[in-house]
Structure 1
């Protein structure tokens, strides 16, 4: 590829977003839902005031979302940007330092590297994607090194200087890095300030709305969903919580889905797809000697060879019990998360999954083979 037409990239992205937004607007209209545009504020336990007009409701759902966070004292502006600014840039920088090696950080580092940008990730914790299983971490770091994505881990950020030519980042041990831009990717914060939540009696902790497992705030008929509720900040978690609260209000007694069992995909290259407990988490939960694991290397999978990708699938089970975690890495492996979440959430045993036929040649075969191996019937080895 000789060059990237960033104007065309942005137009394509904006077209997808606009199309989905238009579809949602049409869906809302078709259901007879009233939309009131403006800045709202909770007043008491049954009223929302918008532009001076009060609207009362039997039930209220707080769903005010999140914003791109920064670090204390780290001001966003100029050449120091967040994902908000990165998504609207009309040029491709020559070099970028990414502060934060979590999901957002590795996704932007990956796409920028694909555009030919010189990328360095700075992560204060000991590894990239520190919440993932150690086997996934090892594979991602190896893949990033192979792609030429540089990273510094285990040393925290101290400060940044910027001028017309670029930025200079300093770590607490004195190391320095220079680039055109600094992307601050240290997570997202809840949007709850100055919205009347605390005045109405809603409990707030570090900006998050505290609820019980059924997403009730403990105040009147006020519920909360999405990124303002502590836990994994994912769009599909927000969808699921919205459906849950609607069914709860309707008296349908919906089933609680624990955060650990929500499927997660990190859209870097290679992709990461996980659901359930890591090996470490499972051992903490069930006991050091009560956990079994199995890995399958994508090198043995025909479709992965066609795609030119490496990676692994790792399954974690309770000893002689159900599968409690599935962790995958490799190009397009995010598409396999559907079956993985069914296996974990339906508490299937490897012996159950081993009976099913997985189509050839697909990457889906990797799930079949790793469960065959964990059931004591490996096709290879």
Structure 2
């Protein structure tokens, strides 16, 4: 069994790389140890969005009177049905990847893949061990929930994101440790369906990678919804010997003991690089990640790596872009290296947050003289009509040349708006270009044009 390319891992990096390689006329095989689509489709991006949609529908029902709708009786969450729907969505997406593999004539080999030697992959499964060969081998094995020494997961009381999606019953209380996208999305979901939620964050602000104004606005909104937020706090120990969990948290003012039925560890991810044969074959590593060039080639001829196991943001869309660039280079094309400063980040709580490029603080630290424009959704006709006036759009431009440095949004549906900004920045659009680009009315996206205008003293609706 000899191929042009073998991809180990079928997540959004691996399966996208395989399909693009097939389109380019290469003979492809994908090795997958569990389910096609990887964590993203089966235990990450997709099923979490299904859970969040259920929470959003429940919130709509609870606020139906605000829209002039009277309901007979109160809404009730059927937790098992919510989980079942989420799993059904995930299963459907995984089957969609199966279809794409067949459509593109890609061989799928179930099992655990490992670099054996130059051009050789060893695959272990229930049928035993076999070897396949290829000119090029792409490692796309992704990541898993990271464990801290003080926060060991027993998968029952102290859990990771995977267990959070399939709990047998709705917990009465939950402590979420970590306030990145994973932690905040689960905090929002469980709080929305009636779980008492506390978020513990080590740094000074929640969603610490976001612009500080967005972070503070989100914190206000989540606190208003009933979530307890503890920043500048660190979990020192978890006692699970009793019925629930007793969590020792060190804060700026001392030490507290919190109690909850479940503790969710959302402190980032660890790379899946163990058992891949990297050390044995001399593949260079740095701080738990595979060292690659701009086209994802390792220091070993014929071996490449993409996705969570290499530099850059651990995001599905980043892995997909990396996979495409990697195989296009293998096929002899001349792809452009990925601009990691133009990668959108999204968090799908309510209100949503979306961002790309420099934060205001980062732009100043980089030496830019900046212009900042901010437009609140409270001044948006569409937001008012939708009953979603919380949040704003904040744009950052270089004062000298008008370069579009960054965008930071918080509000309803902003994850669908950020693509415009990513495209504009890719095309080197200036602030004045945005101002003169006519946006449809009434829409939430008008806030992008208005924020750009506000940065230059031309805003009409403020």
Q: TM-score, normalised by structure 1?
A: 0.96
1:311 maps to 2:391 = yes
Q: Gaps (5+ residues) in structure 2?
A: 1-73
Q: In the TM superposition, what is the alpha-carbon distance from 1:73 to its structure 2 partner?
A: 4.4
2-structure distance, mates of 1:259, 1:187: 19
Output one character per residue of 1:118-164: Cα deviation in whole Å (capped at 9) or x when no partner: 10001111110111101111111111111111111112211011134
Contact 1:275 1:344 in 2 (8 A): no
Contact 2:172 2:261 in 1 (8 A): yes
**Tell me, what secondary structure is at the counterpart of 2:366?**
helix
Contact 1:99 1:182 in 2 (8 A): yes
Contact 1:277 1:324 in 2 (8 A): yes
1:294 maps to 2:373 = yes
Contact 1:272 1:334 in 2 (8 A): yes
Partner of 2:237: 159
Partner of 2:17: none
Contact 1:210 1:229 in 2 (8 A): yes
Q: Gaps (5+ residues) in structure 1?
A: none
Q: How is 1:1-381 mapped onto 2 (pairs within 5 angstroms)?
A: 1-51=74-124, 52-77=129-154, 78-172=156-250, 173-287=254-368, 290-309=369-388, 310-320=390-400, 321-381=402-462
Contact 1:208 1:229 in 2 (8 A): yes
User: How many residues matched?
Assistant: 379
2-structure distance, mates of 1:64, 1:194: 11
The CA RMSD measured in Å over matched residues stands at 1.4
Contact 1:303 1:362 in 2 (8 A): yes
Contact 1:66 1:227 in 2 (8 A): yes
Q: In the TM superposition, what is the alpha-carbon distance from 1:308 to its structure 2 partner?
A: 2.3
2-structure distance, mates of 1:129, 1:208: 23
Quick check: 252-261 or 222-231, which moved more?
252-261
Q: In the TM superposition, what is the alpha-carbon distance from 1:15 to its structure 2 partner?
A: 1.7
